Structure 1
Amino acid sequence: MISLHSSINLSAVADLHADLLQRGVLVVDDSSMHRYSAQLCLGAFGIPRVSEAANGKIAVDQLSSQAQQPAVMMLDLEMPVMDGIEVLQHIAELPQKPAVILASSSDEVLISAVATMAEALGIRLLGAFRKPINPADLANALSNYRAVTTAPEADKQNLLKPDLAQLEQALQRASIQVFYQPKLDLSSMKVAGVEALARWKNAQGDWIPPSLFIPLAEEHGLIGELTLSLLDQILQDMNGWWEQGHYIPVAINLSAKSLAEFNLANEIIQRVIRQGIPAHFITFEITESALVVDLPSALATISRLRLKGFGISIDDYGTGFSSMQQLSRFPFSELKIDRSFVHGAPDHQYLRNILKSAIDTGIRLGIKTVAEGVETEAELHLLQSLGCNQAQGFLLARPIPGRELLGWIEHAAQDHISYAKPVSLDR
């Protein structure tokens, strides 16, 4: 399971979480050699408690009989009696689930599929690797245990979850603000535009995730009102930038529910005209799933906006089931590639193939391609080599308030992006 020929960097695991050191690791593998190499490596990392199981059935029995579960399970997939996939299904039913590191000799596509399944089951996945695991990769996976165990994210989100009255009040007071995440042109490494993102800080000073208030707005028919509130802020910011000579295109997310609102397109068009912003400086991002909610309404709204000169982007491309034929029915001007195909692509051939296919799809359709979620220089360089047009992500810039955007353009490049200096766009 562990490569015995790789050197072990103890500094990488010098600060493992105390809970991990106390509860230890369970190694589940039918190969005694792999169990032995894993035990040696974990011992070198300073983990005193390492237990073993020769197959999945033994592991499940151990978990059922022990009062204290191991903190982490290193799990093989191909095993007799009970394979690793069955073990994951059993773990999902436990009240206290160990975090999991997958290790398998299977191909990367299968490992990735099982990893996705594990996360969908609510299992804390620290890493998924082909055998033999490099000790450095194992060290990085174990170091992730700190973030997983010290942040009770579900409990925190339950405390932050707003109700309808709070959302209505926030809309009345315009408390839901717009932040902007810059996008860079990958050929010139200059600012190509920004994506507008909704951000809501409640009265207690806590940030409420969009994943909590956007569905609430959709459920209660307030998503159109929220969209227009954000649009008004965006248009005001754009006029402020223009007065200072910065003509920055903005992308805005449009909910699937919004596409079915008959008058929303009219409201959008009228507000943009009143503010004097040319429509082609604004792009509406629409997810793949929105295209199948109400096809006639979606086509009508998208086509009207496109007819008036707005850009239309298909967002999170690759996570739905769009075919080339379906894409050709809509007047898209941009294809936005989901971050799940960007993350890990430099290290995994199958992800590179998917990423290349998505970029090639945009090229064949004659539309711009934008990759989101770029977090490493390797991902950035890969996107450049594949011919992707634009990118955004934490490597390039985090979302910032509109009042800070021009300062970022002028100053933040030399502080945070060593390989580019963004400049304002030409009108």
Structure 2
Amino acid sequence: MISLNTSTTLETIDLHRQIHQQGVMVVDDSSMHRYSAHLCLKAFGVSRVYEAANGRLALDQLAQMEETPAVMLLDLEMPVMDGIEVLQQLALLPNKPAVVLASSSDEVLISAVATMAEALGVSLLGAFRKPVNPVDLADALTKYSIGVSAEEILSTQKPASADAAQLSLAIDQAQIQVHYQPKVDLESLQIAGVEALARWQNAKSEWISPAVFIPLAEEHGLIGALTLSVLEQVLQDMNEWWEQGQYIPVAINLSAKSLAEFNLANEIIQRVIRQGIPAHYITFEITESALVVDLPAALATISRLRLKGFGISIDDYGTGFSSMQQLSRFPFSELKIDRSFIQGAPERQYMRNILKSAIELGHRLGISTVAEGVETEAELHLLKSLGCKQAQGFLLARPMSGRDLMSWVDQDLQRKLAICRTSSSG
């Protein structure tokens, strides 16, 4: 499972305390692979290492243990119970280890199983072909602290709910505020723009997820009012930025129901003209799924906005069912690549090939490519090497208010651009 050529430079890697406290379980039918993984983990300072020769034995051990191991190194091809079956069983457990997959199978299959594991709710730290390089294993294990922190935060938060009347009042009183996530141009190494994101904090100071209030707005005919409320805030913020000499383009999301509203394009155009913002500074992001709800209405709204000079971006590209057909039908100026095609691409050739194809498609069509959800320097370096135009994600900046954005530009932008420069030379 692990290459026996362990590097002494990895002996001092900083692993999460739970890995040391709870240990790691190695599940592999090869005694040699279990032994090499054991040696590697010992070199990392992990003293508690458990072993199982197949999936059934591993699950039996877990059932008898007082404390679940923090991580499981899991082979896929095993007798009695294979790794896929193990993942399905782990998903049913209230306390389950994070998983590092290792397999002799081809990368396409490994990638498919990795996607399955994440869809099941298993915390996946990495997926590799055997033998796993100690450096790759170390990188995977160091991700454990990130996964644990996210789970601990989510487990303590109860999602807030809302009804249509509350949402309507919130829109009328401008309680739904706009936050902005910056995008960086990977060629010029400058800020390329920001994406506007709606954020709702109710009277109880509870944050209500967009996954709750966006569908609610669509269902009750409030999505048009919500869209225009967001647009008004964006235009006000843009004017304030312009007074400070910051001419930052903004991307705004349009939902499927918005596209179907007959007069929405007129409302948008009139408001932008009234605020004196040139149309080419605003891009509307539209998901693939929105394009098939009402094709004639979508074509009319998008074409009118494009005719007036607004940018049109196909959001979450690749997650729909007819991407090529949509690109041929609509006048897009930007292709936004979904996070699911970026995560894991530095480690998996199969994913790199898909990512490369999406970027090259944008180049051939003469439209800008934007990678969203960039979280690691390895992902950033890969995107630059493949010629992706822009990047957006937590590595560069989290969403923030319009006022905080100006502080970020003044205080943090150069530091983030330095990461991009390092990635280009690394």
Where do residues 38-77 of structure 1 align in structure 2 (5 Å cutoff)?
38-64=37-63, 68-77=67-76
Structure 1, unaligned stretches of length 5 or more?
Answer: 422-427
> How far, CA to CA, are the matches of 2:165 and 2:66 in structure 1?
44
TM-score (norm 1): 0.88
2:124 paired residue number: 125
Where do residues 202-241 of structure 1 align in structure 2 (5 Å cutoff)?
202-241=202-241
1:10 paired residue number: 11
Structure 2, unaligned stretches of length 5 or more?
Answer: 422-426
Contact 1:287 1:314 in 2 (8 A): yes
1:93-121 Cα distance to aligned partner (Å, 9 max, x none)? 33333322211122222212111101111
Match of 1:12, SS?
A: coil
Contact 1:29 1:75 in 2 (8 A): yes
- CA change 1:34–1:255 in 2 (3 A) is same
2:275 paired residue number: 275
1:273-301 Cα distance to aligned partner (Å, 9 max, x none)? 22222222211001112122232222222
> How far, CA to CA, are the matches of 1:307 and 1:14 in structure 2?
54
- CA change 1:379–1:139 in 2 (3 A) is closer
1:295-354 Cα distance to aligned partner (Å, 9 max, x none)? 222222212222222211001112222343331111111111122323343443222221
1:165-203 Cα distance to aligned partner (Å, 9 max, x none)? 543343232122112222233322223322112223344
Contact 2:190 2:417 in 1 (8 A): no
> How far, CA to CA, are the matches of 2:47 and 2:244 in structure 1?
62
- 2:183 paired with 1:183: yes
Contact 1:339 1:373 in 2 (8 A): yes
Where do residues 8-407 of structure 1 align in structure 2 (5 Å cutoff)?
8=8, 9-13=10-14, 15-17=16-18, 20-64=19-63, 68-150=67-149, 151-407=151-407
> How far, CA to CA, are the matches of 2:346 and 2:66 in structure 1?
42
Contact 2:369 2:389 in 1 (8 A): yes
Deviation at 1:378, TM superposition (A): 4.2
> How far, CA to CA, are the matches of 2:366 and 2:77 in structure 1?
44
Deviation at 1:237, TM superposition (A): 1.2
- Indicate the RMSD between aligned Cα atoms, in angstroms: 2.7
Contact 2:159 2:208 in 1 (8 A): no
> How far, CA to CA, are the matches of 1:382 and 1:185 in structure 2?
14
- CA change 1:346–1:43 in 2 (3 A) is closer
Match of 2:177, SS?
A: strand
Contact 2:16 2:145 in 1 (8 A): no
Contact 1:56 1:79 in 2 (8 A): yes
Contact 1:306 1:312 in 2 (8 A): yes
| Aligned residue identity for 2:273 | I
Identity %: 73
- CA change 1:313–1:414 in 2 (3 A) is closer
TM-score (norm 2): 0.88
1:425 paired residue number: none
| Aligned residue identity for 2:11 | L
Aligned residues: 419
> How far, CA to CA, are the matches of 1:411 and 1:98 in structure 2?
39
> How far, CA to CA, are the matches of 1:311 and 1:160 in structure 2?
34
Structure 1 window deviating more from structure 2 (188-197 vs 240-249): it is 240-249
